[in-house]
C-alpha cells in the first residue's frame, strides 16, 4: 500500500510541527507585534521592532560581540581540539578509551555547574587563575576575566571543545593509516606529514566541528550570563532580558529571530563552501 510510509511519518511530523514549527512561527509573528509600557502586547503588524534591532547601534554592538565571541571560541576549539583528537587517535587501548572519557565526561555535567567552576577560577583579583599566572611571573597585575569577553571565550571554548574533538576524530578514523607511512617513505618529516597529508584530509572534519561550535557558541546562554553577566550582554542574554525583565516580548522575539536567521545563513554558507571545495576529493 502506497499510503503506509506516509502514515508512519505522521506521528513524527505532528511532533515536529508541534514543538518546532508552531513555536517558531509564533515567535516570528510576535516580532511584528507592538508593545508599550502600559498597554502591553498588541497583536498588530508593524516593523517597529525590526527597525529598532536593525537600526540601533546598541543592537549592532550586541550582535557584533556575539559573533566575535563565537568566532574566537571556534578558533580556540579548533586550535586545541584538532591536535587533541589527533593525539587521541594515535593512543592505544586502554588509554584511548580512558582519555576519550576524560574529554567527553564534561558533557555529562550541567553547563551551569561547569561555568560556575570557571567563575570560581576567574573570580576577583585573588582568583586562582590570576594567582597562578602572577606566581609564574607571567603577569604583574591581575587580569580581568569576569565580565569580559576573554573570560566568556575561555569558558565557552572549554564547554564546547568535545564537539570539535568528536568531529575531528570521526574524520581521522576514515584516514588510511598507510597514507602517513607512504608520505614518510617519500621523504616527508613528521611536521610535513601533519601539514601536507593529515591536516588537509581532516579539514572537512574541522570545518564541520567549527560549524557546530560556532552555532552553539553564538546561541549559548548559561555561560555568557554567568561569566559575562549583565554588563556583557550577547544576543541570547539580550533576548532573555527583553522577555523577562523589560517584558518587551516582541523586541525579544525580533532579537531571537535575527540570531536564528544569521546562524542559519552562516551555517548554510559554510556547508556550501565545504561541499564545493571537497566534492571531488571526498565523497
Partner 1 sequence: MAFLELEKLTKSFGAHNAVDGLTLGVEKGEFVALLGPSGCGKTTTLQMIAGFVEPTSGAIRLGGKDLLAIRPAKRGLGIVFQSYALFPHMTVAENVGFGLEMQGVGAAERRTRVGETLELVGLGAFASRFPRQMSGGQQQRVALARALVIRPQILLLDEPLSNLDAKLREGMQIELRQIQRTVGTTTILVTHDQAEAMALSDRIVVMNQGRAEQIGPPHEAYERPATPFVANFLGKTNLVDGATVRPERISFVAAGLAGTVRTRIFQGNHWLFQVDTGAGLVTVIRQNSGEAMPGEGDAVHLAWEGRA
- 3-class secondary-structure state, position 63: helix
Q: Please state the closest distance from residue 276 (CB atom) to partner 1, in A.
A: 14
Segment interacting with partner 1 (CB under 8 A) among 109-117, 120-128, 229-237, 274-282: 274-282
Choosing from 186, 261, 264, 273, the residue that interacts with partner 1 (CB under 8 A) is 186
Grid cell of 225 as nine digits: 550570563
CA distances from 73 to 35, 121, 125, 150, 220 (A): 35, 19, 24, 10, 11
Q: Please state the closest distance from residue 265 (CB atom) to partner 1, in A.
A: 28
Measured from the CB atom, the residue of 170 and 247 that comes closer to partner 1 is 170
Within 47-106, the residues that bind partner 1 by CB under 8 A are none
Q: Please state the closest distance from residue 84 (CB atom) to partner 1, in A.
A: 22
Q: Does 280 bind partner 1 (CB under 8 A)?
A: yes
Within 208-227, the residues that bind partner 1 by CB under 8 A are none
Distance of CA 57 to the CA centre of its chain: 24
Biggest CA–CA distance in the chain, Å, is 77
Segment interacting with partner 1 (CB under 8 A) among 11-19, 96-104, 105-113, 189-197: 189-197
Choosing from 18, 23, 43, 189, the residue that interacts with partner 1 (CB under 8 A) is 189
Residue 264 burial (10 A CB sphere; 0-12, 13-18, 19+): exposed
Strand partners, 36: 40
Grid cell of 120 as nine digits: 570560581
Strand partners, 34: 42
Which residues of the shown chain bind partner 1 in the complex (CB under 8 A)? 176, 178-179, 181-189, 192, 196-197, 200-201, 280-283
Amino acid at each position: 500500500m502506497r499510503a503506509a510510509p506516509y502514515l508512519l511519518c505522521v506521528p513524527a511530523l505532528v511532533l515536529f510541527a508541534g514543538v518546532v514549527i508552531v513555536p517558531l512561527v509564533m515567535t516570528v509573528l510576535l516580532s511584528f507585534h507592538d508593545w508599550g509600557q502600559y498597554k502591553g502586547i498588541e497583536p498588530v503588524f508593524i516593523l517597529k521592532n525590526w527597525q529598532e534591532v536593525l537600526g540601533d547601534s546598541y543592537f549592532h554592538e550586541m550582535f557584533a560581540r556575539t559573533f566575535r565571541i563565537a568566532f574566537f571560541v571556534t578558533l580556540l576549539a579548533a586550535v586545541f581540539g584538532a591536535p587533541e583528537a589527533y593525539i587521541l587517535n594515535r593512543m592505544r587501548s586502554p588509554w584511548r578509551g580512558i582519555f576519550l572519557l576524560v574529554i567527553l565526561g564534561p558533557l555529562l555535567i550541567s553547563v551551569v555547574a561547569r561555568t560556575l567552576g570557571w567563575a570560581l577560577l576567574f573570580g576577583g583579583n585573588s582568583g586562582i587563575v590570576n594567582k597562578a599566572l602572577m606566581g609564574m611571573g607571567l603577569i604583574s597585575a591581575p587580569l580581568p576575566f569576569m565580565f569580559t569577553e576573554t573570560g566568556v571565550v575561555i569558558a565557552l571554548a572549554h564547554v564546547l571543545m568535545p564537539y570539535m574533538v568528536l568531529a575531528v576524530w570521526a574524520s581521522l578514523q576514515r584516514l588510511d593509516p598507510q597514507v602517513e607511512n607512504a608520505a614518510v617513505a617519500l621523504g616527508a618529516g613528521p611536521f610535513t606529514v601533519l601539514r601536507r597529508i593529515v591536516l588537509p584530509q581532516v579539514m572537512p572534519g574541522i570545518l564541520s566541528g567549527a560549524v557546530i561550535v560556532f552555532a552553539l557558541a553564538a546561541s549559548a546562554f548559561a555561560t555568557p550570563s554567568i561569566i559575562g553577566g549583565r554588563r556583557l550582554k550577547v544576543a541570547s542574554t539580550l533576548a532573555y532580558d527583553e522577555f523577562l525583565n523589560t517584558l518587551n516580548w516582541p523586541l525579544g522575539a525580533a532579537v531571537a529571530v535575527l540570531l536564528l536567521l544569521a546562524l542559519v545563513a552562516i551555517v548554510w554558507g559554510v556547508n556550501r563552501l565545504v561541499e564545493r571545495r571537497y566534492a571531488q576529493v571526498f565523497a
